[in-house]
Structure 1
Amino acid sequence: MDEIIIHGTSHPIHFGLRAIHEFTRQRGVDFASTVSSAEALSTLDSIVALTATGLNEGARRAGDDRRYTEDEVWDLFDEDPTLILTISDLFVASISPLTDRLGEMARTDTVSQGPNRPRPTAGRRRP
């Protein structure tokens, strides 16, 4: 979990799987494109939604009842636009290890079983 400074006060922020899932659900986008591209950071609307989700998840994990709305995040960005860059960097740093691990798992699975590996079918268990 990371922290950001807002008005001189530290606030927890977290971009784990739960936060990414919540963001993708709210925005109606898929998980793969969110973590494997810059889609989550491509518009201000996305960055605001992602920030609210990350701040809410950080607060939840820290045991804080505080919840942030997108309107509050817009106000925070109006007051300190550099927060946009800080949040973007934190998000990329948070998801990079995840995408690296998922990519390694996909490569390992494909290499070990080959592109023509048997596919599970109804009534047949995979060895």
Structure 2
Amino acid sequence: MKNLLPLLFAAILMVSGCGQAEKTETAEKKNVTASQDNKQEQVTIVLTKDNGKEEIEKKDVSIKEGETVMDVMKREFEVKTMYEDSFISSINGTEGNEKDKTSWFFSVNGEEAMKGAKEIKLKKGDKVGFDFRKYE
């Protein structure tokens, strides 16, 4: 009987250890799911130069329902605007000008924007690109 007691104790430890591993695995799965949910409430902002040849900055930012491109840009970057906040003329000190024929152009999910930044509402998972380049 004395020889069985250590074996019984070892078996109990193994069973309780397996149960703990399952709890840890479940907690890890919950954290991964929560992390994925947070990503879905974000948009990605990418700043580039020369038709995307040079990446300046890339940021994943949280959004609230109904926020526009302009709302997010003003919150996350230093911007100057024109035409009643419809057009972004400068981002983080890089400003377009007529002499050099340069400007910021933007797209949402790969499609060039046909409206002003304050008119385009963002959705979870959108990718917004701002490219600083010459125009003709």
Into which bin does the TM-score normalised by the smaller protein fall?
under 0.3
TM-score with structure 1 length normalisation? 0.26
**Larger RCO, structure (CA 8 Å, separation 6 or more):** 2
* Larger strand proportion of the pair: 2
Computing the radius of gyration over CA atoms, which structure comes out larger, 1 or 2? 2
